[in-house]
């Protein structure tokens, strides 16, 4: 039978995996809300964020409990400290999905993005969804090889972000300043989403290989 200590560390891991699943749902729904101008979906993303914030607090309570009851060392301690960092990143990824949803609400019933940019934002949504799916697997398995692949997916988001800038700054841009600002911020939210996923992946590598903590 597993030791109580192991059970608590597993619970910590499960909570982070659950957070990644909720983040996945949030970014999928937010992307659909954006592409389909769907206010109900956008509001679902906003109201769903409280659960993610709750799990972030749960991670910290668990870390507090583990530290107090079992004085973890070495890899276990790296996991405890790393869990606090990863929970922050995952919570922030949820916030970014909420930012996208709020933009949909702000412009509703008008479309949030010009029709010509639907495809690029659909690709961003797919890449963001892919990255968070893999983050869940990376956390669940603690596999540093899988963790290294996350950076490649993030490259896709960075490329799409640059493409978006090119489109907005082209002489053919016909949607004015407000739409330019809207899509720039939206694109930045997806890009930051990817950055946070990379941070989580790096942390899993640190936990697995320790003991350095260089960022």
Binding site for a copy of itself (CB under 8 A): 53, 56-57, 60-61, 63-64, 67-68, 71-73, 77-78, 80-81, 84-85, 88, 91, 165, 168-169, 173, 176-178, 180-181, 184-185, 188, 213-215
Task: Report the interhelical angle of 74-107 vs 39-70 (nearest 10°).
Answer: 160
Rounded CA gap, 34 and 118, in Å?
9
Q: Which is nearer to a copy of itself, 32 or 75 (CB)?
A: 75
Shortest CB 67 distance to a copy of itself, Å: 6
Full DSSP string of 149-164: HHHHHHHHHHHHHHHH
The nearer residue to a copy of itself, 45 or 52, going by C-beta atoms, is: 52
- What string of DSSP letters covers 184-200? HHHHHHHHHHHHHHHHH
State the residue for tokens 């999928």.
28
108: DSSP letter = T
Closest contact distance (angstroms) between CB of 40 and a copy of itself is 26
CB of 13 to a copy of itself, least distance (A): 18
Based on CB atoms, which residue is closest to a copy of itself, 82 or 125? 82
**Of residues 16 and 80, the one with the C-beta less far from a copy of itself:** 80
Cβ 90 vs Cβ 51: under 8 Å = no
Nearer to a copy of itself, 64 or 145 (CB): 64
**Shortest CB 84 distance to a copy of itself, Å:** 5
Q: Provide the H-helix boundaries in 72-210.
A: 74-107, 118-141, 144-169, 176-209
Tokens in use for 131? Answer: 């990255």
CB of 144 to a copy of itself, least distance (A): 19
């Amino acid at each position: 039978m597993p030791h109580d200590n192991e059970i608590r560390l597993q619970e910590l891991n499960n909570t982070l995996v659950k957070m990644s699943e909720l983040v996945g749902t949030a970014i999928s729904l937010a992307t659909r809300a954006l592409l389909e101008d769907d206010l109900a979906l956008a509001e679902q993303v906003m109201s769903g964020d409280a659960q993610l914030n709750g799990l972030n607090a749960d991670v910290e309570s668990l870390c507090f409990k583990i530290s107090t009851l079992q004085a973890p060392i070495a890899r276990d301690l790296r996991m405890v400290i790393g869990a606090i960092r990863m929970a922050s990143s995952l919570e922030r990824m949820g916030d970014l999905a909420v930012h996208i949803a709020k933009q949909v609400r702000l412009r509703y019933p008008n479309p949030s993005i010009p029709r010509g940019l639907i495809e690029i934002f659909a690709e961003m949504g797919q890449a963001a969804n892919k990255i968070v799916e893999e983050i869940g697997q990376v956390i669940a398995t603690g596999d540093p090889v899988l963790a290294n692949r996350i950076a490649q997916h993030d490259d896709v988001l960075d490329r799409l972000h640059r493409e978006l800038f090119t489109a907005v700054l082209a002489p053919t841009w016909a949607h004015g300043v407000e739409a330019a600002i809207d899509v720039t911020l939206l694109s930045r939210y997806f890009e930051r989403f990817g950055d946070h996923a990379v941070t989580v992946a790096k942390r899993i590598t640190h936990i697995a290989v320790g003991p350095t903590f260089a960022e």
